[in-house]
Structure 1
C-alpha cells in the first residue's frame, strides 16, 4: 500500500535527536558490521563529490524603475543521499546504529539461497533473497562543512538516519512482489535490466542470480528504484527533490543511470564511487566480482546522486548554460 498520510506526518515530525538517540542506545544480539563513525569518515571522499563549475546562470529582477540583471556560477556535484544495505537476516542489518529500525517480524523471514518457496515459483539454486534497508546518510553536518570549502554548494532532500525503505515492513512488496508482479515490466526479460546483473522488475528481494555480490547489489538497486519515485504502491518514504529556479536535482534511479554512483562501504570500504554496472564481464571467463563477495552475506553502499544548480541572484532565471 502507499504510505499513509499519518506515516508521512510521523516521518516529518521525528526530530533528528530522536533518531540519534535510538542509534546510540541500540542493543541487539549482533554487533553490526559497520558503525556510524565509519560511514561519516567515508563521506570525506573527493572522488565521490566530483565538484565542478560547469557554467553560468543569468538572473533578472524588475521593478517599476526598470530591470537589473546579475550572474552566478552554475555548479555540479554529488551528495550522499542514502545508505543502502543488503543482508540475509531480519534484525541483523549491518549498520549497527539502524538495527533497531527493522527488527525480526513474523512476516519477514531471513534470506539466502535455494528457498523452498518463492513468489514466482522459481525454486532453484540461482534464486536468492536479500533483505534491504535504505537509510538517510548521516553525513549531513560534517559533509557540508567540508563541501562549503569548494564554494557554492547545493543541498539535497535526504534527512540523516531517516528510514526511507525497510523491507521488513514491506512484506507484500518485497517478498511476494505485489503489486509489481502485475506490472508488464515484470514479464518482459528484455527490458528494465541492469546490465547482466538481472531484471529490475519485479522490485522484490528475490533475484535469479547466483553471483552473491550481484544478487545483493540488485536488491539495493531495486529498493533505491522504489524510493526515488513518487506514488509507488509500496510501504516507503520517497526521497525526491523538487526542481526549482536554478536547481536541477537528479531524475529517479534508472537503467544506464549516469547520475547515481555507488560507494562500497562494506565488506570493503573504498574512497570512490561508480555507476552500476561498473564491470563488463559478459565476455570474461573468470569472475571479476569475486573479490567483492562478503563472507557474512552483508553489503553496504553509500549512494551518491548528482545535483546541479546556481545561487539565486535575482527574481527570475532568464538563461543558463553548462551541463
Structure 2
C-alpha cells in the first residue's frame, strides 16, 4: 500500500513548486564510479553440503564483502526545492507540509527558537546501482540489492505527522536511551523528525538525513515510507539497520562537493576542535545530497546446506 501511495504521489508532483536542481541524474550516476566506496574484499570461505540418494558431497566457495550505493538521501529547507529531482519535478506540497528552514518566523507547530532548524528529506533509489553491478561483474562474484533505481523510499512531505509532529516517536521508549540515541555531538536520533535544536546548517542536514535513513532501514515503523530491509538467508548477510553502533552504512557526499570516498557518520568529532571541520562543506543554498552505501556480505551458493563459514558476517 505504501509503495502504491508513493508511486501515485510522485506521479502527481506539482509543477508549481518546481525549482531548478543543483545536481543532475547523470552526475549522480557518475559519482558511483567510486572504488573506495565499493570496498570489495574477499573475507572468508563458505563450506556447503549437498546430499543425494547416492551420497553426500561438499564444496567450498569464497565469501565476499562490498558496499552498494542503495539510495540517495537529500536534505533541504524549503518544500519543493529538492537539490536533485530525478523525474524533473519537485515534491508535492500538501496542507500539513508547508514552509521550512529556521524558525525566524513563527512555525505552524508554534516552535520559536533561533537555534531550531528544519529540513525536508527525500530518499530515492540510487540510479548508479546498475553501473556498480557492471563494475563488480569483473570480479566474478558479487551481491545484489533489492533496492530499485529511482524508486522513492521516503518523502518527508508525505509523512507530516511523523516528520513535523514527531508521531509516534514522541512516545517511543528509544528516545530515553541516552547512549543509543545520540549521533555524536550532532543531536538526538529520536524523535526522527525534521526539527532539531541544531543551529549549524551542515550538522542539521546530516542529522535529518540520518533520521530518515534510520526509518527506512527498519521494518514496521508507523511512518509513511518504503523499507530497504532485506532478509538474511543461507550464505547471504544483508546490512544491519542504521545505528551509531553499526558500521554497515556509509555516506558519500555528492553536493555541495563531490567526495571520492564514503565514511561513517558523524564524520568529525569537533567537540574539542578550535576550527569548524564542516565549514568547507557548507552549501550556500543550504541543500545537501549524499549517496548511501550499504555493506553486503555473502558467498556464492555451493550446495544445499551451509555447514560453516569464516570471515564473520
Alignment pair present for 1:250 and 2:245: no
- 1:42 is aligned, of 25, 31, 53, to 31
Q: Deviations over 1:247-267 (max 9, x none)?
A: 000110011331110000001
Using the TM superposition, name which of 308-317 and 280-289 deviates more.
Answer: 280-289
Equivalent residue for 1:200? 189
Partner of 1:225: 214
Distance 1:300 1:251, change over 3 A: same
Offset at residue 48 of structure 1 (A): 0.2
1:109 equivalent to 2:98? Answer yes
TM-superposed CA distance for 1:149, in Å, is: 1.2
Matched, 1:283 2:272: yes
1:164 aligns with 2:159: no
Change (3 A) 1:225 1:98: farther
Aligned to 1:7: 2
Quote how far apart the aligned CAs of 1:33 are.
Answer: 0.7
- C-alpha contact (below 8 Å) 1:83/1:135 kept by paired residues: yes
Distance 1:71 1:10 in 2: 45
**Distance in 1 (alpha carbons) for counterparts of 2:25 and 2:83:** 11
User: CA 1:315 to 1:190, structure 2 compared with 1: closer, same or farther past 3 Å?
Assistant: closer
1:316 aligns with 2:301: no
Q: Is the 8 A contact 2:256 2:289 kept in 1?
A: yes
User: 1: distance between equivalents of 2:276 and 2:2?
Assistant: 43
Cα distance in 2 for partners of 1:98, 1:187 equals 40
Q: 1:282 to 1:155 in 2, by over 3 A?
A: same
Please give the TM-score of this superposition, normalised by the length of structure 1: 0.90
Q: Following superposition of structure 1 onto structure 2, how do residues 95-174 of structure 1 map, counting pairs within 5 Å?
A: 95-98=84-87, 100=89, 102-115=91-104, 116-117=106-107, 119=109, 123-174=112-163
- In structure 1, C-alpha distance between the alignment counterparts of 2:2 and 2:249, rounded to whole Å: 27
The equivalent residue for 2:289 is 300
Per-residue CA deviation, residues 154-194 of structure 1 (Å, 9 max, x unaligned), is 00121001100000000000011011111133355554100
Please tell me whether the aligned partners of residues 66 and 295 of structure 2 are also in contact (alpha carbons under 8 angstroms).
Answer: yes
Q: Aligned partners of 1:162, 1:29: CA distance in 2, in Å?
A: 19
Report the RMSD for the aligned CA atoms in angstroms: 2.1
Kindly tell me the number of residue pairs found equivalent between the two proteins.
308
Question: Per-residue displacement from partner, 1:208-235 (whole Å, max 9, x unpaired)?
Answer: 1111101000010000000010010000
* 2:50 is equivalent to residue 55 of structure 1: no
For residues 272 and 229 of structure 2, the distance between their equivalents in structure 1, rounded to whole angstroms, comes to 37
The 10-residue stretch of structure 1 (177-186 or 300-309) with the greater mean CA deviation from structure 2: 177-186
Match of 1:3 in 2: none
How has the CA–CA distance of structure 1 residues 257 and 188 changed in structure 2, closer, same or farther, with 3 Å as cutoff? closer
Name the residue aligned to 1:271.
260
